[in-house]
A and B are shown apart, each in its own frame.
Chain A
């Protein structure tokens, strides 16, 4: 079920009403959420439910056994089993064909013909997200940071919690799991804050991301025919498409969770106002970057070892992060580019230089800050071209043409709706975000209801409904 679908428009109020009908009856409320989450997930393909149920049962059982065991080597052995199960599922469903096809290609390059065939596998929606969530739970139990969940229903609901099941935020068990044991009291302010986030998230997705998507798809399909200016716009629009798409999803997820009295972690914090690449990664897909920091980068030694180890660790984290996004070389190159961009900042000790919000308490940034933000946005956008392109060669050709074509005329692309007015819309959104960059969403302060009214009006009139787009991160 998609957040931007009519089904969800019926589903959410129904679950909301049922949930609050059983106020103070925690077990029933959790059960309602569990059933609702399975309905939500099964809406795509009921066969996926077996997979999530298996993953849930496996981690529930293993975490309990880990907790009961005293010898460290047995605990470690059980943790490895859990990791193998989770990554095994992920590896099979997401990466099997990639490895087989890459192997066949490599063999063909050296003159061997390999007969290993790829399989017709459907990638279960959100598998990368809930796999990482269950992994972090078992690791936390192993480390002793968390007690194994006593309630299977609570744990199963934590794994499948529908607001964040298919595209995050990737919640840590330490944050979310205890919330299933707390009695919920309906809080009007929280519910309104949740609704505000949902509205803003829908705006980011349906107005910004989906409008940009129409243009981006056309540019990337015809990249060999269009000029530098259109290619530049294509890259900029994709930067806003992916941001609107994913930040929009996260805001809807966080807002939905709030309607039920749950607090999910913030996933985006105005990333395009970052002054360097390290700051960008503290503001973009926060739940994934902190996951990699805590469960991969630090266990590998982080930046406290030698310079070579640090460089290695940075590359491992970014390449794995790239690969996590999808089974394609484009994502690996995207991860590699970010590692290359991140390294100088880290090695020169500037990675924690920009921790606060930019130009705090000032309306206009300084020239230096503006330059830093623009530069970061440009390098991030270049990397996005690899993320979006069908393959690495196309990405290079796209960038080569952008730089070398050197024709900057205004082209009219044969798109019925959006062209340069889209740039205006994007600029307006940047301005809105800039003004509200210290807030969670723009519906704060004075004129709050008027702002909500305008955004709803824009949602209705500027939203893209005829070319319905899935959320990009569903494929991951």
Chain B
């Protein structure tokens, strides 16, 4: 089990990146001008190639489907821990701001990297039980994400479905189907995020992405969000007149994503 544990860690640490977390660790001292962090509303909405074309600045989309607040914080910690240079981080807020902790697959993907780095702060954010001290326990318990299938894919250099250098995954179609209503409030602001904003000397910019106007709680949620994060750029109602931009109520389609990226360039002075 000890041998297997070390073998898996070695492969995931040294193999080609197949997810955004691994990609961050491979960036080295490369400087990225703009980094976008958040949920699917980053992954599906921010086209970094477009930003690069228009502004000439380098950009990286680190959005992740179903990401919780902890996922973003972990990403920032990893960027700092691996000495990635950046000018600004744009952190997207939405209903996931109510969910602390990490999304399951993020925890799994981060596990080999954190294990290898030995960084206590990173370990702390994963909040692993003592059982994870048993060799190979972490890989067995999270086999769905970092089990033999993923190991084999890494070993044979199978390319990731996501273009990691950009990180943008467009959605298609057009509807305003409500996929899950926003909550009507944010329970409390995340102290770690606020602390991090201070520590990064205002390199961290908070923003929100569009939701369709059909979402019944949107107004109350925006009010609550503005109260807890007054400095955030709120763009939730940016496309109320452009219903054809929505793939569903919470996600823009490719056309909407391009429009939103352009809007961000303008609003954030990129």
Contact = CB atoms under 8 A, between A and B. Distances in A.
Interface of A: 6, 416-418, 457, 460-467
A461 B144 contact: no
Contacts of A461: 4, 147-148
A466 B144 contact: yes
Contacts of B136: 460
A462 B148 contact: yes
A416 B143 CA distance: 10
A467 B4 contact: no
Contacts of A416: 144-145, 149
Per CB-CB distance, the 5 closest pairs between chain A and chain B, nearest first, are A466-B144, A465-B140, A461-B148, A417-B149, A466-B143
Given A6-B131, A417-B147, A417-B149, A460 B141 contact: no
A218 to B, nearest CB: 13
B142 interface: yes
A464 B143 CA distance: 7
A455 to B, nearest CB: 14
B156 interface: no
A467 B144 contact: yes
Given A6-B131, A417-B149, A460 B4 contact: yes
A185 to B, nearest CB: 33
A463 B140 contact: yes
Secondary structure class of chain A's binding surface, majority of residues: loop
Contacts of A462: 148
Secondary structure class of chain B's binding surface, majority of residues: helix
Interface string B122-161: 0000000001000010001111110111000000000000
Interface of B: 1, 4, 131, 136, 140-145, 147-149
Contacts of B141: 465-466
Contact of B1 (A418, A460, A467): A460
B140 A417 contact: no
B128 to A, nearest CB: 14
A466 B142 contact: yes
A416 B108 CA distance: 14
Contacts, number: 31
A465 B131 CA distance: 14
Nearest to A464: B143
B144 A417 contact: yes
A218 B140 CA distance: 22
A144 to B, nearest CB: 53
Contact of B140 (A418, A457, A460, A467): A460
Given A460-B136, A463-B143, A465-B143, 4 more contacts: A416-B144, A416-B149, A464-B143, A466-B145
A463 B147 CA distance: 9
Nearest to A461: B148
Contacts of B143: 417, 463-466
Nearest to B7: A461
Contacts of B147: 417, 461, 466
A466 B4 CA distance: 18
Nearest to B5: A460
A140 B240 CA distance: 79
A450 B14 CA distance: 30
A6 B140 CA distance: 12
20 contacts: A417-B143, A417-B147, A417-B149, A418-B149, A457-B4, A460-B4, A460-B136, A460-B140, A461-B4, A461-B148, A462-B148, A463-B140, A463-B143, A465-B140, A465-B141, A466-B142, A466-B143, A466-B144, A466-B145, A466-B147
Contacts of B142: 466
A457 B140 CA distance: 12
A102 B31 CA distance: 69
Nearest to B4: A460
Nearest to A456: B1
A460 B151 CA distance: 13
Of the listed residues A463, A464, A465, A467, the one surrounded by the most CB atoms of chain B closer than 10 A to its CB is: A465
Nearest to B140: A465
A462 B147 CA distance: 8
Contacts of A417: 143-144, 147, 149
A6 B134 CA distance: 12
A224 B149 CA distance: 28
Contacts of B144: 416-417, 466-467
Nearest to A466: B144
A245 B56 CA distance: 58
Contacts of A465: 140-141, 143
Nearest to B105: A416
A454 to B, nearest CB: 13
A464 B145 CA distance: 11
A463 B140 CA distance: 8
A358 B8 CA distance: 42
Of the listed residues B1, B142, B144, the one surrounded by the most CB atoms of chain A closer than 10 A to its CB is: B144
Nearest to A419: B149
A6 B148 CA distance: 21
B5 to A, nearest CB: 10
Contacts of B140: 460, 463, 465
B63 to A, nearest CB: 19
Nearest to A462: B148
Nearest to B149: A417
Contacts of B1: 460
A463 B141 CA distance: 10
